[in-house]
């Protein structure tokens, strides 16, 4: 998921350089949503990780 957030961020930067403001804004919004979903899932996996009994 972090990979796709980075991909959309790069698309947003390239679109902004070429002057496509709408596409850049949309791609940046998607990248932001994917990044926050990644953070939530990463935090949940750290909190609820399985502990193997020894």
3-state secondary structure the chain: CHHHHHHHHHHHHHHHHCCCHHHHHHHHHHHHHHHHHHHHHHHHHHHCCCCCCC
In a domain, 54, yes or no: no
Name the residue with tokens 């991909």.
Answer: 7
Q: Does 52 map to a domain?
A: no
Question: pLDDT tens across 23-37, in order?
Answer: 999 999 999 999 999
Q: For the chain, how many structural domains are there in total?
A: 1
Classify residue 9: in a domain, yes or no.
yes
- Tell me, what's the pLDDT at 14? 93
Q: Domain range holding 20?
A: 2-47
Percent of the chain with pLDDT strictly greater than 70: 93
> In this structure, is residue 53 part of a structural domain?
no
Q: How many other CB atoms are found less than 10 A from the CB of residue 27? A: 21
């Amino acid at each position: 998921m972090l990979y796709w957030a980075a991909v959309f961020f790069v698309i947003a930067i390239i679109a902004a350089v070429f002057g496509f403001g709408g596409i850049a804004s949309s791609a940046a919004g998607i990248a932001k949503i994917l990044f926050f979903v990644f953070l939530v899932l990463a935090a949940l996996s750290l909190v609820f990780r399985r502990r193997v009994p020894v």
